[in-house]
Amino acid sequence: MLRLNAIKAIYPDLKECAVVTIMGATAAELYACGHRPNFFYLEHAMGLASSMGLGIALSRPDLQVVVLDGDGSTLMNLGGLTTMARYRPSNLIHVVFDNEVLLSVGVSFKTATAEGADLAGIAAAAGIPRTATCTDIDSFRDAFRDALAARELATLVAKVEPVLPPSFFIGCHMLENRFEFQRALEREP
Ligand SMILES: Cc1ncc(C[n+]2csc(CCOP(=O)(O)OP(=O)(O)O)c2C)c(N)n1
């Protein structure tokens, strides 16, 4: 599965959600699908997209929050899984695009998932109530929509090819994105 196609498959569902992505390829691919004020591209702070998503989900329980994470980033903040499970917000879906490498730094450095680490299994063991590993677009879209409908904290791992986007272009400055996203979050439901 290509991550771009996986993002396209859930893109219509992201319209009403607060979305936080990791930096690099995932951010660029979501941006390429069409930027929205409710999308935040978390630059530099590798591993912390899930923690930021948790904070938003807890402070805005009326809002569905979606985090688009990577395997390297998730492995860098495994404690984030236990903290998400501990507070268990029903309005948070944590998607991990697992390409088994640190793709965005341009080298094919393998992560532990290339050697058998099972992020959905780790998330389940951390206490995340709903987990899945998806290897094709249809099962990923179904797992995502089921999690939305269930209103239950979920970590969904999508196994994707290590394919770089044609460009890392993001047409809004980090600061602009920061203020625009804040305003989107402050808007009344
Ligand atoms: C603390 C920290 N270490 C390293 C980096 C450099 N860096 C940026 S993206 C990235 C790889 C992210 O890997 P992953 O989460 O698997 O996502 P992918 O790029 O494969 O989509 C790295 C190492 C960083 N931004 N911050």
Report residues of the chain scoring pLDDT below 70.
188-189
Distance 130 CA to ligand 1 centre (A): 26
The pair phi, psi for residue 111, each rounded to 5°, is -95, 175
- Report pLDDT for 106: 85
Distance 2 CA to ligand 1 centre (A): 18
Contact 156, 95 (CB under 8 A): yes
- Report pLDDT for 108: 79
Question: What's the chain's average pLDDT?
Answer: 97
Which atom of ligand 1 is nearest the CA belonging to 25?
21
Please report the DSSP string for 100-151 in residue order. Answer: SB-GGGTS--B-GGGGT--HHHHHHHHT-SEEEEE-SHHHHHHHHHHHHHHT
Distance 100 CA to ligand 1 centre (A): 12
The class (CATH top level) of 3-186 is alpha beta
- Alpha-carbon gap, residue 4 to 85, rounded angstroms: 28
- Report pLDDT for 115: 97
- Report pLDDT for 189: 67
Contact 53, 99 (CB under 8 A): no
Residue nearest to atom 12 of ligand 1 (CA): 102
Tell the residue number behind the tokens 């985090």, with chain if given: 67
Question: Is the CB of residue 105 below 6 angstroms from any atom belonging to ligand 1?
Answer: yes
Distance 44 CA to ligand 1 centre (A): 8
Question: Is the CB of residue 30 below 6 angstroms from any atom belonging to ligand 1?
Answer: no
Is residue 98 exposed (0-12), middle (13-18) or buried (19+ Cβ within 10 Å)? buried
Question: Is the CB of residue 27 below 6 angstroms from any atom belonging to ligand 1?
Answer: no
Domain ranges of the chain: 3-186
